[in-house]
Amino acid sequence: MHSSAIPIWFFIGVLLTAYGVLILAYGLYELSTGIMAVQNYHASVWWGALMLLVGLFYLIRFRPSRANS
């Protein structure tokens, strides 16, 4: 990669973290109000949490300062 490049994995981390936060937050709201989409099995909670975790991992692992070092 370019010496000063932000790796693609960092961008993926940003995207997954943003999506994870939004979807998990909605899932928790859904859980608290008892609403559930048809056959959804509260997927927003566990899928959102999974995306958030993976996103955070990539965000930290490939953060620019670390990638450049």
Partner 1 sequence: MFELVPAYLAAGLPSLTAAFAGTGASLAHLSLLDIAVIAIYFVMVIWIGFYLKGQANTSEEFFMAGREMTAWIAGLSFVSANLGSLELMGWAGSSYQYGILAAHWYWIGAIPAMLFLGMVMMPFYYVCKTHSVPGYLKLRYGQGSSFVAAVSFAFMTVLMSGVNMFAMAEVMKIVLGWDLNFSIIVSSLAVAAYVALGGLRSAIFNEVLQFVLIWGGAMLVPILGLIETGGWSGFKARLAQNIATGEVLGGDYTHMWRSMGHFADNPMGIHWTGIVFGLGFAISFGYWTTDFLVVQRVLAANSLRSARLAPVIGSFFKMAVPFIVILPGLLGLVVLTNANGSHMQLVGENVVKDCARSASGGAPVNASLCSTDLATTAVLPATQQAVLAGTGDVQLHSYNEVLPLMMVRYLGPGLLGLGITALIAGFMSGMAGNVSAFTAIFTYDIYQPHIVKHARDEHYVLVGRIVTIAGVVISIGAAYAVRNAPGIMDYVQALFSFFISPLLGVVLLGMFWKRATKAGGFWGLLIGTLTSIGLWAWVYFYPPALRYVALSPDAKGMAENMYRALWSVSTAVGVNVIVSLFTKPKPLSELASVVYGVTPLPTEEPVPLYKNEWFWTAIAIVIFFALNIYFW
What's the min distance (Å) between Cβ of 7 and partner 1?
A: 9
Question: Is 59 an interacting residue with respect to partner 1 (CB under 8 A)?
Answer: no
Distance CA 51, CA 64 (A): 21
CB 21 within 8 A of CB 52: yes
What's the min distance (Å) between Cβ of 24 and partner 1?
A: 9
What's the min distance (Å) between Cβ of 62 and partner 1?
A: 12
Cα dist from 52 to 2, 20, 23, 56, 64, whole Å: 28, 4, 9, 6, 19
Q: Which residues bind partner 1 (CB under 8 A)?
A: 1-2, 5-6, 8, 11-12, 14-16, 18-19, 22-23, 26-27, 30, 36-41, 43-44, 47-48, 51
